[in-house]
Homo-oligomer: A and B are copies of this chain.
Amino acid sequence: DDGFTVAGRRFTSRLIVGTGKYASFEQTRDAIAASGAEIVTVAVRRVNISDPDQPMLMDYVDPKAVTYLPNTAGCFTADDALRTLRLAREAGGWDLVKLEVLGDKKTLYPDMRETLKAARTLLDEGFQVMVYTSDDPILCKELEDMGCAAIMPLGAPIGSGLGLQNKVNIRLIVEQSRVPVLVDAGVGTASDAAVAMELGCDGVLMNTAIAEARDPVRMARAMKLAVEAGRDAYLAGRMKTKRYADPSSPLGGLI
């Protein structure tokens, strides 16, 4: 068994997927099934989870079969995020949540001051907080020390598909953390997800890379396989690379 544990719950799949940006709830359902995800994020402010007169995500994705992880997508202040998650807890009883507080609409980069503030309050109120964060190892440590259940640094801006920009920071975060580290945002294609796992991350969260592929269901399957591949490669211990530059040259050890 190579699962991972977050907030005391055990999961086998290391791929978490979002539920936004799909063409239909049918496609959402099929992509989630293909991804093998056991956790799906739900943007409380965007997805209908309470009005039974409208089509509801629950009718397509069974909350008893997969864990719903309410998130605060679209929140730009700690207060907004708190309000959103309190409502989610009242409405659905969720207390395992994903916190994200964004800094601006252009980059969707996290606002770390507001994130730290909101995380502290949520933890005080008994939530279990998985937290979207910059790849700043010091702030990630602070979030862990505070009691967050998982650290979720971005690989690249949300929705960019640019792949992991800073492997050094992601690896530093992995080495220092005792709670799960999941790369959240930035994955564009399967190899990006594999790279995250090869760095030793516990999992990957994505939405756009699947939802905006030409064939989301097939891409969901690709991502499932890529996360498993990257995990296995990490555990298998990769071969050493061979360097070709004459060790006595200024490039010895670099190429």
Which residues does A use to contact B, with CB under 8 Å? 103-104, 107, 109-113, 116, 134, 136-139, 141-142, 156-157, 159-162, 165-169, 171-172, 175, 188-191, 193-195, 198-200, 208-209, 212-216, 218-219, 221-226, 228-242, 244-246, 249-251, 253-255
Instruction: Please judge, given known A-B contacts A214-B237, A225-B226, A244-B157, whether A107 and B137 are in contact too, CB under 8 Å.
Output: yes
Bound-state Cα–Cα, A188 to B172, Å:
19
* Contact, CB under 8 Å: A168 / B244: yes
Q: Which of B138, B165, B238 contacts A109 (CB 8 A)?
A: B138
| Most interface-central of A162, A223, A234, A236 (chain B CB within 10 A) | A236
24 residue pairs of the A-B complex, CB under 8 angstroms, read: A107-B137, A112-B139, A113-B142, A134-B136, A161-B241, A165-B167, A165-B169, A171-B244, A171-B251, A189-B198, A189-B239, A190-B194, A190-B226, A191-B194, A191-B230, A198-B250, A198-B251, A199-B255, A214-B237, A215-B235, A219-B236, A222-B229, A224-B229, A226-B233
Bound-state Cα–Cα, A228 to B208, Å:
21
With both beta carbons as reference points, the residue of chain B lying nearest to A133 in the complex is identified as: B136
| Most interface-central of A208, A209, A226 (chain B CB within 10 A) | A226
With both beta carbons as reference points, the residue of chain B lying nearest to A221 in the complex is identified as: B232
Q: How far is the CB of A81 from chain B (nearest CB, A)?
A: 15
* Contact, CB under 8 Å: B138 / A242: no
Q: Which 6 pairs between the two chains have the least Cβ-Cβ distance?
A: A214-B237, A103-B138, A222-B232, A225-B229, A219-B236, A190-B233
Measured between beta carbons, the chain B residues less than 8 angstroms from A254 are 238, 241
| Most interface-central of A137, A188, A191, A214 (chain B CB within 10 A) | A191
